[in-house]
Chains A and B, each alone.
Chain A
Amino acid sequence: MRQKTTAVLSAAALVLGMVGTAQAGTLEDVRDRGVLRCVVSTGIAGFAQPDANGVWGGFDVDFCRATAAAVLGDASKIEAVTSTGKTRFTKLNAGEGDVLWRNTTITFSRDVSVKLRFHGVNYYDGQGFMVKKDLGVGSASELDGASVCIQTGTTTELNLADYFSSNNMNYEPVPIETNDEARQNYEAGRCDVYTTDASGLASTRSALPNPDDHMVLPEIISKEPLGPATRHGDDQWSDIVTWVLNATITAEELGVTMANVDEMKGSNNPEVRRLLGVDGSQGSELGLSDDWAYQIIKQLGNYGEIFERNIGVNTPLGIARGLNALWTDGGLIYSPPFR
């Protein structure tokens, strides 16, 4: 009898404890835990995917690692909280993850109604369409009546609806939970078209048995600025995530790379010295150690290196920098100054 009572009480305590989540002090929570929990996707080649040994890698995961390098000084101390397009914000807002690095489009309603805080763009994307070449389709305007596979709970779902209705075309939406299921359905011919962000299409195409049998249509029907997100209510943590991203961009701009970061510490450029924590105390003002940005570059490299390593032209995805080149090279990647 007594044992039963204890069990009931502890179950009740568990319920109450689970409902309450820590609202402020994410930095302290992460430090105490010794590991950073990032909300990432369930697997998109090049962006977030576990390797044969179960170690997560990819473009988004590397930014997660960069955050861990800045906060904990060790890029390996991350835990990937996988989420589908549908569960990601709930997981973040419920405190299951500390930060979301999951090819997530910044939109008004997500910022304002879903109560997220966005911290800049790490990938400028746009929604495209992939079809089998033997369909003989050359443009998205020829897709009237097609069956379209689409990941449910995404902005692409809404763009698709807008695009087809504004062009007076019909389609059959085939809603899918994850990228892998979408690929299976697309391969089996359940749908004629797979639509998602162009980066995701490149990733999916690279994973198909014969990538050359498929083509991405020229139309890009939306703006999809992808970036990290955190919960409302923790300004210090927001600042950290913002400046982790900016540090990688600034490093590329200043020519600081994984290989030369140690010798750059002796540079005469004051911004390089501030960035790497040689001069000033920007790290401690953020609540981090002064070499936080040094750790990021040393362990993961600058923005360009992260890009080329995971999704660049020499990878199976083969994505050119395009819009994601530095502003000095005609792209949109731009960081406010470290001053």
Chain B
Amino acid sequence: MTQPAQSTSNPLLQLWRNQESRGVIIQIVTMVVVFALLAAIARNVVINLEAVGKEFSFGFLLWPAAYDIGFSPFLEYTNRSTHLRAAVVGLLNTLLIAFWGCILATMVGFVLGIMRLSSNWLVSKLSYAFVEFMRNVPILIHILAIYAIVVTLLPPVKKALNVGADAFFLSNRGFYVPSPVFEDGATLVGIVLLLSIALVYFFKRWARRQQDDTGKIYPVLWVSLGILVALPGITFIATGMPLSWDVPVLKGFNFKGGMAIKPEFLALWLALSLYTACFIAEIVRAGILAVSHGQTEAAFALGLRPNRALQLIIIPQALRVIVPPLCSQYLNLTKNSSLAIAIGYMDITATLGGISLMQTGKEMETMLIVMGVYLVISLLISSFMNWFNHRIKLTER
């Protein structure tokens, strides 16, 4: 059992022949090559920027932006604001569309996924056809098509459809709805609402503990709803209904007052949500099919009613399969929202990565910021979904 003599002849060759050290060597070489490439690219960029005489700096963020943004629901913004503020307005618009997009996509996705599993032939095939149509056409086409439909099919603003009570109007400039105006005492109602939410939370915990200890099941849902409706409702009436509505009225060129859901937002929201919903539908279907039928039978054998079986046995196990791929769909939706620029929805790609870039000529800097912003949003979504996944994972006892 002696070592073969030739392997000791050259120590370098020996290192190479050893599987473990060879792995380390290959990794080091790969790292060096990758970093050399990155360095070469960075150097090239610096040289080229210098050659055209451009300085790499972020000072432009504090210059006045000088352009207007038509859709800024959260922040006061005028054309005297800075590029930084324009970027924040864009970021908030991106978050807004991503938030509502994820919610609608999840809702539609779950419905489509469950429809697909229905034993009713028509329902199942309808879902199938819709899913296959939506997900096999590029998302940009959906956005442009829905926008074109909204803008050309809906009537112009002077002939806006009165869809209810002289307060809701539909036109190709947007869906106008009354906006709430809070008066004195509204804060109290808000505080009571928050208190009721806290109360519901503690009631739920108490009910769970009672169930664990005594086996008695409390009607948590109905009691919670009662608390949430009754307490703020009573306060609202007691404070003399401190709420009025600002109703939109056609004045001059446009509606004044109220709130408007702009066609750009509507088209982008529908397109992103419906497109992503189709992928979510398939994920949901896969998740439910992944729970073997034996689980349902076992639940019934234990005497659980069908909806309790669904709630306690099927859904928790299906979620385990559904949540991880759901996360990547949320990421896709958020990143796809950058297509907003095609129809003039002012997200961060359109403000900082579009007009600010154009007006200042800072391609490198603006693009780096935009990339960084999407990266951070995506990482936040990922970590939230990881946390959620960890929370719902099966506790095996």
Contacts and interface: CB of A to CB of B under 8 A. Distances in A.
A and B associate: yes
Interface of A: 12, 15-16, 19-21, 23, 85-86, 89-90, 93, 109-110, 113-115, 135, 143-147, 152-154, 157-158, 160-162, 164-165, 171-177, 184-185, 188-190, 192, 231-233
Nearest to A172: B70
B52 A115 contact: yes
B44 interface: yes
Contact of B355 (A135, A145, A157): A157
A12 B51 CA distance: 23
B172 A19 contact: no
B68 A177 contact: no
A160 B245 CA distance: 33
In order of increasing CB-CB distance, the 4 nearest A-B pairs are A189-B156, A114-B361, A153-B358, A161-B79
A93 B172 CA distance: 39
A175 B157 CA distance: 18
B142 interface: no
B254 A145 contact: yes
A interface, by DSSP: helix, strand, loop or mixed? mixed
Interface in B42-89: 44-45, 48, 51-54, 66-70, 78-80
Interface string B333-363: 0000000011010100010001101111101
Contacts of A19: 41, 44-45, 48
Given A86-B358, A157-B67, 4 more contacts: A109-B361, A152-B355, A172-B173, A174-B70
Interface string B347-381: 00010001101111101000000000000000000
Most buried by A among B68, B70, B252: B68
Most buried by A among B66, B80, B148, B344: B344
Contact of A146 (B78, B254, B256, B263): B254
Given A147-B254, A157-B67, A157-B355, A89 B350 contact: no
A84 to B, nearest CB: 10
B211 interface: no
B151 interface: yes
Contacts of A160: 68
A220 B344 CA distance: 25
B37 interface: yes
- Size class of the contact patch on chain B: 35 or more
A115 B54 contact: yes
B210 interface: no
B274 to A, nearest CB: 22
A177 B344 contact: yes
B360 A188 contact: no
A154 B253 CA distance: 25
B152 to A, nearest CB: 5
B201 to A, nearest CB: 42
A232 B53 contact: yes
Given A115-B361, A162-B79, A185-B151, A16 B40 contact: yes
Contacts of B251: 145
A147 B342 CA distance: 18
Contact of B66 (A143, A158, A175): A158
A143 B41 CA distance: 50
B127 to A, nearest CB: 33
Given A109-B361, A146-B253, A189-B156, A176 B344 contact: yes
Contacts of A145: 251-254, 256
Contacts of A90: 357, 363
Interface string B226-269: 00000000000000000000000001111010000001000000
Contacts of A144: 252-253
Contacts of B148: 184
B60 to A, nearest CB: 8
Interface string B120-142: 00000000000000000000000
Contacts of B45: 19
A161 B65 CA distance: 10
Contacts of B78: 165
Contacts of B355: 86, 152-153, 157, 175
A189 B70 contact: no
24 contacts: A15-B41, A16-B37, A23-B51, A85-B358, A86-B354, A109-B361, A110-B361, A115-B52, A146-B252, A146-B253, A147-B254, A153-B355, A157-B67, A157-B68, A158-B66, A158-B79, A161-B66, A165-B80, A175-B70, A175-B350, A177-B344, A188-B152, A190-B263, A232-B52
Contacts of B152: 188
Nearest to A152: B355
A233 B53 CA distance: 9
Contact of B341 (A157, A162, A177, A184): A177
Contacts of A176: 344
Nearest to B51: A23
B52 A174 contact: no
Contact of B358 (A89, A174, A231): A89
A172 B254 contact: yes
A314 to B, nearest CB: 34
